[in-house]
Chain A
């Protein structure tokens, strides 16, 4: 393997890890706003370790939602990691249950994207482990910083934080709606449907339930196309 390819993979993996790790500040602050203490916020980042699910859980809790809605929305967003795992399994080929159990914890959007984009299997494995390690470290440290920082906020800063949380969800959603995404038109239709369903249900269901029920908007995606199953 040429060492330049190895260096490039390492550089990209660490770069992405640092960039994504910064999101942890937003998560830590938002978790504090939703009522999680610092231990709970850090435990979520260390144990759940999948950004969208974590944000969804504290989003539902912050809106006054119950335990089932909070866990349910986190699990619904966690299902895509199962599909990632299926794609990564042949590449990682983790030997023994211990390695498989360890690798599984780091199967997320970013590690999958980096591993799949690598030019060969060995570099793919390297990208997976380096990206995973960098993000795991950065995500947990910045969650701690965000959680501690939020505790020191005054009323105006709290209003700022309230506006940051929906913006963070929009930033997570945004790339899925762009032209570079697969079937962006369908993604936009489903997203609009999800938002409308959630708002329409808000006055009638317990807090948080509307988020879980909005998942029915995937019906707007329609039938699978025969060519869409790569």
Chain B
């Protein structure tokens, strides 16, 4: 199953890239299309942030991940580099795990 997901997802993403180089620009550069495409990442990435940080299966949960996310937000606001953001978030999550373990 995992291999099928990896290969189908990869093929689909590749065809989306290839389409951009291959189809007439007028097909894609319509106001509605470009607007939707421009805002899809914000909707999906925010949904993934929320689901990864605050859910477990069908349940909403609060644990070290949410603390890590808050730490990451502060680090990002202070313009910390990507890798520093991740290390701080991970450290916060691990700390909560140890304290509440």
Contacts and interface: CB of A to CB of B under 8 A. Distances in A.
A47 B7 CA distance: 8
Interface residues on B, range: 35 or more
A22 B82 CA distance: 9
Q: Main SS of chain B's interface residues?
A: helix
B53 A217 contact: no
Contacts of B62: none
B76 A88 contact: no
Contact of A190 (B11, B13, B43): B43
Contacts, number: 318
Q: Is the interface of A mostly helix, strand, loop or mixed?
A: helix
A140 to B, nearest CB: 13
A101 B42 contact: no
15 contacts: A36-B6, A47-B14, A50-B17, A59-B51, A67-B4, A71-B9, A156-B94, A159-B64, A163-B64, A164-B86, A166-B69, A166-B72, A170-B76, A211-B47, A217-B42
Interface of B: 1-14, 16-23, 25, 28-29, 31-55, 57-60, 64-65, 67-69, 71-73, 76, 82-83, 85-86, 89-94, 96-98
